């Protein structure tokens, strides 16, 4: 796992792990309708997990890229969502995927 964190920081452009506090948890909950819109546009009919937020990583770009790992209540896997928030506050979903690790959405081995 430590090697994944080092690789993520060096090769992907300095993603850093965020503290899951009240503010970040609210941000994660606000992306739910954007995820459903993304799924509708891509022809996927999924269920947004109701479980706890497990991890949040961010990368400063022209705004911020985020990766959130959100647990399902009854499943061992989680949903990872990669999204971008511009400086103006606009949110766009880049990708979603069922995952065991946030690194799964970035295809890092």
**What's the structural domain count of the chain?**
1
The pLDDT confidence band at residue 2, using thresholds 50, 70 and 90, is low
**Residue 105 clears pLDDT 90, i.e. is over it:** no
Mean pLDDT calculated for residue range 27-54: 90
Cα–Cα nearest to 51, from 81, 79, 87: 79
Which pTM was predicted?
Answer: 0.81
Confidence of residue 77 (pLDDT cuts 50, 70, 90): confident
**Spatial distance between the Cα atoms of 47 and 4, rounded to a whole number of angstroms:** 28
Tell me: pLDDT of 3 over 80.
Answer: no
Range of the domain at 32: 2-106
CATH of the domain at 12: 3.10.450.10
- pLDDT mean over 67-79: 90
Provide the pLDDT for residue 1: 53
CA distances for 89 relative to 16, 60, 70, 103, angstroms: 20, 14, 21, 25
Question: Average pLDDT, stretch 47-72?
Answer: 91
């Amino acid at each position: 796992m430590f090697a994944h964190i080092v690789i993520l920081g060096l090769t992907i452009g300095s993603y850093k792990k965020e503290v899951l506090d009240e503010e970040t948890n609210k941000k994660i909950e606000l992306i739910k309708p954007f995820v459903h819109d993304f799924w509708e546009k891509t022809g996927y009919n999924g269920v947004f997990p109701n479980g706890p937020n497990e991890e949040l990583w961010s990368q400063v770009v022209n705004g911020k890229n985020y990766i959130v790992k959100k647990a399902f209540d009854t499943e061992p896997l989680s949903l990872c969502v990669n999204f971008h928030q511009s400086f103006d506050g606009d949110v766009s979903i880049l990708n979603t995927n069922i995952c065991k690790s946030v690194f799964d959405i970035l295809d890092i081995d």
